[in-house]
Copies of this chain bind each other. A is one copy, B any other.
């Protein structure tokens, strides 16, 4: 078929390869599709293999990273990623317009999204740093005592 688009011909990865590349299981990938976290491709016949692009790999990596580092439920993650998708749409709008007022409005929205994510991340960072400090203090104490012997 010569009518396939560039994006479709890119869809060359199979679920096992994606699993390998992202570090999750095929079951997890199917589950994320099931709950709407990943696109189902839309036109796959029953029983046929799923195909993925590099963009899918990137999205799964992003999901896994936020899931593991921020400890969010998949529902909250879903909302956060919707915002991410909205940002991608904003970027498209941004490039489509030349109007400075319009561009400023778009960039302001982007900034809000980025900063709300930053706050989540920095809160985590503070907690981790606190835990690290306590462990370093304990280690120092033990080392001091060892030196005294």
B-binding residues in A (CB < 8 A): 65, 68-69, 71, 100, 103-104, 107-108, 110-111, 114-115, 117-118, 121-122, 124-125, 127-129, 131-132, 135-136, 138-139, 142-143, 145-146, 149
A111 and B115 alpha carbons, distance in the complex (Å): 39
Q: Is the interface of A mostly helix, strand, loop or mixed?
A: helix
Number of copies: 2
B146 touches A108 (CB 8 A): yes
State which of B107, B114, B131, B145 has its C-beta within 8 Å of the C-beta of A135.
B114
Contacts of A124 in B (CB 8 A): 69, 128
Chain B minimum-CB-distance residue to A146: B107
Contacts of A114 in B (CB 8 A): 135, 138-139, 142
A79 nearest CB across to chain B (Å):
17
Please name 5 further chain A to chain B contacts, defined as beta carbons within 8 Å, in addition to the given A111-B146, A114-B142, sorted by A numbering: A65-B127, A103-B149, A114-B138, A117-B135, A125-B129
